[in-house]
Amino acid sequence: MPNLKLVASDPADILNLCSSLHNKSGPQVQIKINNYLKAKTGSFVTFMIPLLKESEEAVVQVIGENVLDHELRFPFVDDSIQLAVKRRRSFKGSTKDLYTDLQNMLKTVINPLPDRYLNVPVPHPSQDIIALLVCLVDYDEIDNAEYMCTNLVQDCFRYCFGMVINSLAFEEEKRLKLQCQSLLLVARRLFSHLGHLPELLKEIMVEARRLTNAERCSLFLLDPDHQELVAKVFDGKDGKDEIRIQKDQGIAGYVVASGKLLNIRDAYKHPLFFKGMDEVTGFRTRNILCFPIRDEETVIGVAQLCNKIGGFHFDVFDEEVAEAFSIYCGISIMHSLVYKKIQDAQARSKLSNELMMYHMKVNDDDLKKVLFCDKSHKHPHFEDFDFSPRVLPIKEVSCYACKMFEDLNMITTFHIKKHTLTRFLLFAKKNYRETPYHNWMHAFSVAHFSYLLLKNLKLIELGYLTSLEGLTLMVACICHDLDHRGTTNSFQMKSGTTLASLYSSEGSVMERHHLAQAICILNTEGCNIFDGLSQNDYTHSLDLLKEMILATDLAHHFKIFSEQQKLVDNYQKDDPNHKKLFIALLMTCCDLSDQTKSWKVTKNIALLIYKEFFSQGDLEKSMGSRPLDMMDRDKANIPQLQIQFLSDIIIPLFDTLKGIFPESACLVEAARFNRDCWGRAVDLFANNWPEDLSSLEILTDPELERQVLLSVVKS
């Protein structure tokens, strides 16, 4: 085995040094090597300066046996470092020429500071770079001292280099891990204050001072409306008056404009520093670290840190932490501002609801008129399928609605107070707009049909529905079109209305709004007719209410109708899925029940529906859109549209109901009769009326009804 080729070192000493470096931390490895080189070179103190290629920085962590509290980083501005790296040979110089911070740091170890030092470059064994420098301060004055010292250092690192580099890498990873953990803890603290912006800003300043060990911190947010930087919280304290400065003024203004961090090591020598503030406050600003705070696109503020504690100035570590910290600041501030907007919107919404309910408040006189009405409210055909409740006097409709709940024994079964039921119905009535079709009378007609189903088909007695489901069915029918705007879901979506923005992601825009209005009424004092239910029944009733109201969306009906048709052959009352399909079927039947009344009623209903349709079509035209033909008063052929509607939707729907309940066959017959009447109307429209008359004008002509019925009777 060949001898070790060492120029100036004892092989045994090198081996002993290498064997002593195992299981040591980074600083301990450096201390061991520093002491070895100190002894071999006769230096007063020895230390390493690792060179970071990526950031072009020099690092000092240990001086002799002293581990620095905070490692020192500085750029390659020192001539001795630049020359040693560039020439790849040792450089002798005066300590007075060393980097100022390094001089100050050395003085804490050696005082007075010797004049002489030697920088020895250590090349990387596998890369063409100088990996670190070894600084020998006040080494032995012997012949060829620099040559001997250089050889001793290079001999040492020829065998210790791997251990040193690995320990430095380990310490760097440990530092980054601690930094990440610290920043995650900071994020957790910041996000716990999102609900209150001033508290969040205070927390940001506390954390900024802690992370960088700064004496003071100020935080400015950009006011884009006034082009100013505003500090409502200054140095962690609430001020009576906010501080405002021009966004292009001073150090903070420069950082906003440039979007770059600014590290000022001597504040009084910087041209942007305003000394007047120190003169007024008596505070002495030594150094400043100012960094921008951004959202996704722009700078939204700046944080300004003053006076590094325990250091000469803010260093690159502080810059690195500040850059990372600023990201969390930006995220938390923007989320806080958005959260505040949401809170404000919720408050405005709550206020609007309160105002709405106040202005829609049921008059006590109206309540008493219903509660103490002495009329019998009996109609001989009220319980017949072919009876249209639209013939009832509008003033008596609320009384008839109460009568339906009472007749089905729901008031007694569910302990509903009569004044609560009455108030609920009157509130619902006030929540319907004066649209041609989707109004209070439509809601009552739909609820009346649910009453007919419960009464005539004995849905509760025969176990098709529970009593709670029966009650909720009635309530859902009353509420299913609350606050209807007379427009379709597709119109809401295309127009980008407020309702669409609220509910478009879930679908069934209008139905979800109707449900929200229903819940709003139930939450109004004195209106909750579910108040007498147990907790479980109450929760279940609200779930049912949602399910039932959403079922009135025809788009939903089309999706499930094929499954509903299968119920005819195999309906299982105890099957939850069958029950859900069955309830949806009942709701659709109730909603479209006007089509099973007499031809006269059906014709008048068509008149109301197409008035709504054409109003929407006119609105779409004014917005530059092309409406569907059925919405276009100039193109719609109402008889043809009604025939298609009855054939494709109504007759199959009620035919399915008849399959489960044969006693409802009269509904299918009525729908088919109405289809025949519309068929007669097609020819009459074409032959007996001028072409310049619109469909609506023809429908309002009493002669149409007479001729259609006469034609059907003759056939």
Of the listed ranges 24-28, 174-178, 235-239, the one predicted with least confidence: 235-239
Interaxial angle between packed helices 535-550 and 576-591, expressed in degrees from 0 to 180 and rounded to the nearest 10: 60
SS3 79: helix
298 contacts 246 by C-beta, under 8 angstroms: no
The answer on whether 540 is annotated among ligand-binding residues is no
Strand order through the sheet with 66-75: 66-75, 57-63, 45-52, 130-137, 116-123, 91-94
Task: For the chain, give the mean pLDDT.
Answer: 87
Task: Provide the annotated active-site residues.
Answer: 438
**382-591 in CATH: which number?**
1.10.1300.10
Residue, of 636 and 224, whose pLDDT is higher: 636
pLDDT in tens, 601-610: 999 999 999 9
Please state the rounded mean pLDDT for residues 392-404. Answer: 95
The answer on whether 591 is annotated among ligand-binding residues is yes
The answer on whether 415 is annotated among ligand-binding residues is no
Flag whether pLDDT at 89 surpasses 90: no
All CATH 3.30.450.40 domain ranges in the chain, comma separated: 11-176, 192-342
Say if domain 593-715 classifies as CATH 1.10.1300.10. yes
pLDDT in tens, 205-227: 888 888 888 898 888 888 877 68
Please state the rounded mean pLDDT for residues 690-713. Answer: 80
Q: Can you spell out the DSSP letters for 385-452?
A: TT--GGGS-GGGHHHHHHHHHHHTTHHHHTT--HHHHHHHHHHHHHTS---SSSSHHHHHHHHHHHHH
The answer on whether 163 is annotated among ligand-binding residues is no
Token pair in block for residue 529:
């007719």
Of the listed ranges 263-267, 307-311, 364-368, the one predicted with least confidence: 307-311
Query: Domain 192-342 is of which CATH architecture?
Result: 2-Layer Sandwich (3.30)
The pLDDT value given to residue 2: 40
Token pair in block for residue 365:
């006189």
Say if domain 11-176 classifies as CATH 3.30.450.40. yes
Please state the rounded mean pLDDT for residues 247-261. Answer: 89
The answer on whether 642 is annotated among ligand-binding residues is yes
Element spanning 157, H or E: helix 145-191
The pLDDT value given to residue 593: 98
The answer on whether 480 is annotated among ligand-binding residues is yes
All CATH 1.10.1300.10 domain ranges in the chain, comma separated: 382-591, 593-715
pTM of the entire structure?
0.62
The pLDDT value given to residue 345: 78
